[in-house]
Amino acid sequence: MSDSLDKIAGFTGLSRSDLLEIAAAAKANSVRLAGCKRHRFVGGKATLGAKYDCLECGGRADNGYVYGYIAGYEAAGGVADDIWPGYRDVRSPGA
């Protein structure tokens, strides 16, 4: 019997067990990010496609997640530097 995971495995060349491992890692990362009381990120110049690790929970997030988190934090009255020191200085122009 074939399921969608078998189809993905056939399409990507990854084994079923590799796909299950990737899915488990993604779920664990999502749980870490969702359970964090307040993220803190550090990085250089923010670039498209970059990933950043939260210093509090260890979760990994892309720049879109980080930008959105900081925007929400600021909208709630917080300061971006609390989340990413020097964020306004390293953020890509137009981002």
DSSP 37: S
- pLDDT band at 91; cut points 50, 70, 90: low
**Amino acid in the structure at residue 35:** G
Confidence of residue 34 (pLDDT cuts 50, 70, 90): very high
Compute the mean pLDDT over every residue in the chain, rounded to the nearest whole number: 89
DSSP 8-class letter at 55: T
| Judgement on whether residues 3 and 23 belong to the same structural domain of the protein | yes
**What is the per-residue pLDDT for 69?**
96
**Is 51 found in the same domain as 24?**
no
pTM of the model: 0.80
Same domain, 58 and 24: no
In angstroms, the CA 88 to CA 85 distance is 8
Statement to judge: residues 60 and 28 lie in one domain = no
15 and 51 co-located in one domain? no
Residues 57 and 85 in one domain: yes
Q: What whole-number distance in Å separates Cα of residue 30 and Cα of residue 72?
A: 18
The boundaries of the domain holding residue 76 are 37-95
Res. 36: pLDDT tops 80? yes
State pLDDT tens for residues 48-90: 788 999 999 999 999 899 999 999 999 999 999 999 998 887 6
